[in-house]
A and B are shown apart, each in its own frame.
Chain A
Amino acid sequence: DQQVKQNSPSLSVQEGRISILNCDYTNSMFDYFLWYKKYPAEGPTFLISISSIKDKNEDGRFTVFLNKSAKHLSLHIVPSQPGDSAVYFCAASPRGTGNQFYFGTGTSLTVIP
């Protein structure tokens, strides 16, 4: 049973516009969330994180929003660039389990020049 879901397998956005990637989770014990970016034939790389004590975290062009009541988080990329084209995974960790993360199925983002 998938505890972390990314319901959009793919997304296309024009260069310079905003990309919004969504992630839903079912486990109310999740209290720490990450976004990873993955290029083909490479391992995922860490992008941004958010703890459940916050509802927003920003790092340059990337902002993650957390809505705990809806069990929903989103990643905003503004402005989108062609180099952002990759697969994005969200991941969540339950409190008290140390380092174990559950990953979503990924969203493939294509930024069109």
Chain B
Amino acid sequence: DVKVTQSSRYLVKRTGEKVFLECVQDMDHENMFWYRQDPGLGLRLIYFSYDVKMKEKGDIPEGYSVSREKKERFSLILESASTNQTSMYLCASSSSREGYTFGSGTRLTVV
């Protein structure tokens, strides 16, 4: 069964902390994505990557960075967490336009 695994289901961090959200896929997909889901706003694209060491900004990249050192792993970094980054974070991967496989999500609360 193909999988996208996000390292944490729930996280609580303090304002100003550096936060790492990890995502690993076992499908050998080239493309990986980070979204955040907020009520009334749907899924908004933060960053995506079509290849190792490659990254592209999505619609809301401010306050975030990413790292893709290996094909299977795509990390989202909050350089200095703020309360407005409290959200559900979803990682996805794909190899074609058939669609994404999503991870289970990380519910991040910044206090």
A89–B45 alpha-carbon span in the complex (Å): 14
Residue A34 CB within 8 A of the other chain: yes
Residue A105 CB within 8 A of the other chain: yes
Q: Are A44 and B102 in contact (CB under 8 A)?
A: yes
Given A103-B43, A104-B42, A43:B97 Cβ within 8 A: no
Q: Are B96 and A99 in contact (CB under 8 A)?
A: yes
Given A89-B42, A100-B45, A106-B42, A43:B99 Cβ within 8 A: no
Smallest CB–CB gap between B54 and chain A, Å? 12
A42 touches which of B50, B96, B97, B104 (Cβ 8 Å):
B104
Smallest CB–CB gap between A106 and chain B, Å? 5
Q: Are A105 and B41 in contact (CB under 8 A)?
A: yes
Q: How many residues of B contact A (CB 8 A)?
A: 26
Chain B residues, Cβ within 8 Å of A46: 98-101
A34 touches which of B31, B99, B107 (Cβ 8 Å):
B99
Residue B74 CB within 8 A of the other chain: no
Nearest A residue to B90 by beta-carbon distance?
Answer: A43
Smallest CB–CB gap between A45 and chain B, Å? 7
Q: Are A41 and B104 in contact (CB under 8 A)?
A: yes
Given A34-B99, A44-B90, A49-B99, A100:B48 Cβ within 8 A: yes
Q: Which residues does B use to contact A, with CB under 8 Å?
A: 4, 9, 31, 35, 40-45, 48, 50, 90, 92, 94, 96-105, 107
Q: Which residues does A use to contact B, with CB under 8 Å?
A: 2, 4, 6, 9, 32, 34, 36, 41-46, 49, 89, 91, 93, 98-106
